[in-house]
Amino acid sequence: MEKKRQVVFIMTDTTRWDMVGCYGYPDMKTPCIDALAREGVRYDKAYTCQPVCGPARSAIFTGLFPHSNGSFTNTVPLLNGVKTAGEYLTPENVHCAYIGKWHLDGGDYFGSGICPPGYDDAYWYDMRRYLDELSPGERLKSRKENSSLEDGGIDAEFTFARRVSNRALDFLENHGGEDFFLCVSYDEPHQPYLCPEPFASMYKDYEMPKTPNYYDTLEGKPLYQKLWAGDSLHEDKSKLSVKPQLFLGCNSFVDSEIGRVIDRVKRSAPDAMIIFTSDHGEALGAHSLTLKGPTVYEEVAHIPLIIKGGAYCRSPEGAVYPSVATHIDMLPTILDYFDIPTPPVLQGTSMRPVIEDPEHNKLHDTVFCEFHRYEIDHDGFGGIQFMRAAVTDTDKLAVHLLDETDELYDTVNDRYEMNNLINDPDKKELRDTLHQRIIDFMNNTRDPYRGYQWEVRPWNSAYRRPSWEVDGFTRQRPAGPGEQIQLDYDTGLEITETVRFKKKADKPAGQV
């Protein structure tokens, strides 16, 4: 009997890569995720596409970077016509269920309660539907940060995580014999960190180690980081402690919920592919910063990623992939598992080679991260902050369009990203190479925020002269199956090469 094609995609919110024990941090109690890593492949250098909730998720589920899919900041929806995983899979007779935090409908933090196209409404359960189950008093309790410690704490059944898991178990029990795509999307361990005992007290006496970047003075760093740090930049760090008791407790709680789901997968869909990741990280005082934002620092942009192959894409047990990986490859990987070719409009590629043989294959030399703004509903968190960044196995370049300083880090010799090498003459060749990769990335992904300002940086003499033609590229949207092919403006013929060089000869470079 032919085995079913089944994928279970599990995601948390704000789990740093170093909050998972199997990444070399035994103080972090995540036995269920650790067990998954022993059964599959752990990706040691995986990065979000934009380190803030909505845009990060938009890249995962559309296969398009936020600058292309429209959800470039929180509370801005996807563009009309942009498809998510369910819209690709449902027409191929794959039963798609999305249970948990969505954050892509452009509404408030909790969502609209309305099931988007491509998913089974019977299992749709966003945070609005969760709140609709609660009384006004319970809603207040669910949003209070210390609810887990006050008035006797909370019961697991009260939490969003438990209710998400329960619905996932129901889906697996009733649909384990079908082709399916099941997404289990937790809000935890995001604030307000709801968790029952023993998790609420599990890290009561635990203090996170103060890494060297906890004492970063931000000398030679961008101005926006100094504004972001605010008064904390001048505090005596030796007298402060990092004790995120409930944050870490909630992280261990959601690990236990993930364990419940994985146990049911093994019983109901033992040949399913399982993917675990998180949308982004959290600064937690590193570089004097809090939360997340326009940076590619490890604490914020580096995320956990673990994949256990299934019947149609086997993976070795306990393997580690040491090179860079990216969320933009999630949707192409899922489609590939269902034997669906990657539509040309998508901007990632299937990870199959580094799932089946992570030891001998390599997918990317460089992955990319971006930022626009934190949220559209207010001007906090720095307002608009354009960033494009290139990340390799050994280095990072971040270009901050509106700031006075860009960033270059040697992540091998400067693990904690303390020394900004952007003006180091010995790094010119590396810096300019990564810069060109960013420009090429913007061209190839039809970045609407592309302009000569990204090229004209004070440290790159090759781009000192701006041009009104920018660099002469034209970028049309590639057509997917059944879509109308665009016609070339100059010829009226169908476009065969969507990204190409078309600089006009009558306007020399540098003319403004």
Q: What DSSP string runs through 358-386?
A: TTT----S-EEEEEEESBSS-S-TTSEEE
**Can you tell me whether residue 21 is helix, strand or coil?**
helix
Q: Which is nearest to 118 in space by CA: 104, 97, 149?
A: 97
Give yes or no: 22 in active site: no
Contacts of 286 (CB under 8 A, 6+ apart): 211, 213, 214, 216, 297, 299, 416
Question: Residue 473 is inside which H or E element, if any?
Answer: strand 473-475
Burial of 78 (0-12, 13-18, 19+ CB in 10 A): buried
Contacts of 68 (CB under 8 A, 6+ apart): 347, 445, 446, 447, 448
Which residue in the list 22, 32, 49, 53 is annotated as catalytic?
53
Which residue in the list 67, 95, 103, 302 is annotated as catalytic?
103
C-alpha 274: how far from chain center:
17
| Residue 498: HSE in the Cβ half-sphere, 13 Å Cα cutoff | 13
**Can you give 216-266 as a three-state secondary structure string?**
CCCCCCCHHHHHHHHHHHHCCHHHCCCCCHHHHHHHHHHHHHHHHHHHHHH
**Cα separation of 245 and 252, whole Å?**
11
**Cα separation of 509 and 507, whole Å?**
7
- One-letter amino acid at 256 equals S
Q: Cβ distance 381 to 53 under 8 Å?
A: no
Residues in the chain: 512
Give yes or no: 53 in active site: yes
Active site residues: 53, 103
